[in-house]
Amino acid sequence: MNIKSSLSLAFLFTCAVFQQLHAQEDVVYLKNNSKKIGKVVSISQDKVEFQPSADAKSEKILKSELELILFENGSYLTLPSDFKGIEGPVENRHSEDWILTKEERIVECVIENAETNLLKVSAMGDSGKKDFSIPKSDIAGILFANGKKQLLGSSPALVAEILRKKQVQAPLEFLRKYEAKKEQAKKAFDGKLELDRVSQEQLQKRGLQKVDDLGKYLNLVANKSTEAAVSSKAVDQAVALFLSDSSIVETKRPNGERKQEYVRNYLTKLRLLKYSKVVIAWSDISYVSNLRKGPDGNYYGVISIQQKFTGYIDNKPVFADVTTKNIEVVLKTYRKEVDGESLELWDVFLNNIGISESKS
Amino acid sequence: MRIFCAGFLVFLLLGKAQGQGLNSKIGPFQNAEFAFEVKTIDEFIERFNNDQYTLIRQYMEEKFPKKKLTRLDLIRTLFNYDDPLWSKEDALEFSNYVLDQKGEKFLDFYSDTWYAQAECLVKYKGLPKKVNITLQVFVSDRTGAAKWVICGARAPFLDFSNRIDSKKFLNPISHATDFIGLRKAMEDKVFLKNYLSEDFQESHLNKYLAALASGDIVFEQISSITYHFLSIDNWLFTVKEYSRPGKNSGWLIQSLSKRTQSEKADYLKNNLFCDH
């Protein structure tokens, strides 16, 4: 209940890393379970020459130390092998996406969405195209036709073994039990899809932290004693808490008239208020809704919180009101390249802010 | 009936004792009122469904650990008690039906049997008018993603004239003159309905969208919202926001009535103006 006291925990909440995707580069897997990402520049009888990046010095690795090479074009090479081409064997390229099963089979299908823990797949059935939802925990890996790959924690040795055997399983034989039925889909996506209670609470805290940060910036921006440069920077920092500049803030004038402004305009006008000092405070108690998945893949929720606005002239309070603010929060994913790997990160942003009636 | 209200009052008093020391002017926040207020329709659904994480439950557990909240307690907090448009008899029967041990009834945010109706202010050819827009939640079967979509609209000022004149029609031999009378019919705007099939049904939403597209209508703002729940068998209730001081505030049940399936279908067509 004492939400503010738990806000400090939110500082500790770093953006969740849900999945690792390899960007389209060659990936060399060693027998010691490590890997190197970059470009294979030559393959000789007993060595593979490898360049981690365009401006880096190439290094040579003994073939005997290698388990597997996954090429950026979707081809692969399991070791040992006498193959010497640097783009992988042509016959190992595949025009369909491959699911590698834990039963060491390959299932050909079309991956519709691999960005969450529930893999969305389509394949042709007797009566046309069918959709399937497969928990990633049920499979060993994914090799996309375009060269992307997700090994999902499987060892390179297991993946190499599956590719060596190359036992292709009829898609429906594997996928049948994962068919996405209409009613099941609605149940499964009951606003909590892939977000367990712990994740919900962490994300809610992150949202509340952003609201708290917004309050600090609002106080800075609105106070006449704040230097122009500091105030200007605070506006930028406040806007950065929002999903975009086009987020809308609703305000209400003392005569009851409501106005809607883009967030940057709202903040700029806040600087022009007649008060010499403004204190904006949030209540300790707030309501945070569940997060619901939107068509863009982001999750949307609302934080309802009381805001007390007090305007001072010559250090005397001349206006005060308490309003309930309904603040949309958006859990948004974004990608970040780290050491040649494309990491999928999540963060919470504020969006439109509406108000309920003033009560005092 | 008395039990329905009496229980609720006891419940309110429990909360009131906590908030008595608070200054209501420029003083501390009204935390007790805030906890009781149904701040969003999400919270309404959480309370109705007896969600264990809903704010009021957390608040009561912290402030009044000995008070065990039941689902009936929570449902009682969802009614508007100030000049209500529901009867105590219906409220009691409804609560008993929802709480029936043989099969409790719940609300589903993702259901297509509840609607939001927004009363909107627009300018029609420069003049202020009101339009009702009905929305519902659409859920993608494939991705589970949800969004609100417009399913109906009603702009009474766009209605066609209903005037009938039995002398006005396109005669059965009109084709022989290549429908020479059609031009005259199209100029006869007051009696246009005379030239239509008897089973013609106008789409209010289409008319509204056409006026919006042509620029005749310019959207101004929303003035109020009402939620209509048709999802509980044999019952229909509406929820409106009551912004006022006190704990009986926020999104509350405005009206409650018994409705059969066919009555609900009529309601959908005649009150919510949904085309489907």
Residue pLDDT, tens place only, A137-167: 889 999 988 888 888 888 889 999 999 988 8
pLDDT in tens, A226-256: 888 999 999 999 999 999 989 999 988 777 7
pLDDT in tens, B173-190: 988 889 998 999 999 888
Q: ipTM score of the complex?
A: 0.77
A195: pLDDT confidence band, cut at 50, 70 and 90?
low
Residue A8 is predicted with a pLDDT of 29
Please name the amino acid found at residue A66.
L
The size of the A-B interface in CB pairs under 8 A is: 109
A189: pLDDT confidence band, cut at 50, 70 and 90?
very low
Percent of chain B scored above 90 by pLDDT?
60
Mean pLDDT of A167-179: 83
Please indicate whether residue A181 or residue A188 has the higher confidence score (pLDDT): A181
Residue A3 is predicted with a pLDDT of 36
The DSSP 8-state label assigned to residue B158 in this structure reads G
Residue B20 is predicted with a pLDDT of 30
Between the alpha carbon of residue A52 and those of residues A36, A39, A49, A57, A58, the distances in Å are 7, 6, 10, 8, 7
Residue B232 is predicted with a pLDDT of 94
- Is B245 in contact with A360 (Cβ distance < 8 A)? yes
Percent of chain A scored above 90 by pLDDT?
18
Residues 6+ apart with CB under 8 A from B39: A287, A304, A324, A326, A356, B250, B251
Helix (H, G, I), strand (E, B) or coil at B212: helix
Q: How far apart are the CA of A97 and the nearest CA of chain B, in angstroms?
A: 19
Between the alpha carbon of residue A278 and those of residues A51, A267, A295, A315, the distances in Å are 58, 13, 39, 10
The pLDDT mean for chain A works out to: 80
Q: How far apart are the CA of B29 and the nearest CA of chain A, in angstroms?
A: 6
What residue in B sits closest to A182 (Cα-Cα)? B141
* Nearest CB neighbour to B59, from listed A1, A120, A197: A1
Half-sphere exposure of B180 (CA within 13 A, CB side): 3
* Nearest CB neighbour to B35, from listed A131, A182, A285: A285
Provide the strand spans (E) within B160-258. 217-229, 235-242, 250-258
- How far, in Å, CA of A84 to CA of B41, rounded? 64
- Residues of B with a Cβ under 8 Å from any A Cβ are 24-26, 29-31, 33-35, 37, 39-40, 42-43, 46, 53, 55, 58-59, 61-62, 108-110, 139-147, 221, 241, 243-245, 250
CB-based burial label for B2 (10 Å; 0-12, 13-18, 19+) = exposed
Phi, psi dihedral angles at A6 (to 5 degrees): -90, 0
Q: Where are the domains of chain B?
A: 2-107+232-270, 114-159+202-224
The pLDDT mean for chain B works out to: 86
Structure tokens at A280: 């904006």
* Nearest CB neighbour to B26, from listed A297, A304, A310: A310
Q: Read off the pTM.
A: 0.65
Nearest to A216 by CA among A155, A278, A152, A144: A278
Residue A115 is predicted with a pLDDT of 73
- The alpha carbon of residue B243 and the mean position of all alpha carbons in its chain are separated, in whole angstroms, by 17
pLDDT > 70? residue B158: yes
B145: pLDDT confidence band, cut at 50, 70 and 90?
confident
Please indicate whether residue B276 or residue B142 has the higher confidence score (pLDDT): B142
Mean pLDDT of A160-185: 76
pLDDT > 70? residue A86: yes
pLDDT in tens, B242-252: 988 889 999 99
B42: pLDDT confidence band, cut at 50, 70 and 90?
very high
| Paired sense of beta strands A106-113 and A168-169, if any | parallel
Residue B198 is predicted with a pLDDT of 85
pLDDT in tens, A317-339: 888 888 889 999 998 877 777 76
Quick check: A193 contacting B, CB < 8 Å?
A: yes
Please state which of the ranges A75-84, A182-191, A275-284, B213-222 shows the lowest mean pLDDT: A182-191
Residue B237 is predicted with a pLDDT of 98
What is the CB neighbour count within 10 angstroms for residue A185? 19
Please state which of the ranges A341-350, B51-60, B254-263 shows the lowest mean pLDDT: A341-350
Nearest to B36 by CA among B4, B52, B13: B13
> Measured between beta carbons, which residues in chain A are less than 8 angstroms from residue B30?
306, 322, 359-360
Taken in order of first residue, the domains within chain A and their CATH numbers are 9-188 (no CATH), 197-355 (3.10.450)
Percent of chain A scored above 70 by pLDDT?
84
- Is B140 in contact with A182 (Cβ distance < 8 A)? no
Nearest to B39 by CA among A355, A200, A93: A355
- Is B35 in contact with A197 (Cβ distance < 8 A)? no
Percent of chain B scored above 70 by pLDDT?
89
Quick check: A302 contacting B, CB < 8 Å?
A: yes
Please indicate whether residue A278 or residue B86 has the higher confidence score (pLDDT): B86
Mean pLDDT of B94-105: 91
- Judge contact between A220 and A226, C-beta under 8 A: yes
- Is A285 in contact with B55 (Cβ distance < 8 A)? yes
Mutation pick from B59, B60, B62, B141 vs chain A, by most beta carbons of A within 10 Å, is: B141
Residue B211 is predicted with a pLDDT of 96
The DSSP 8-state label assigned to residue A242 in this structure reads B
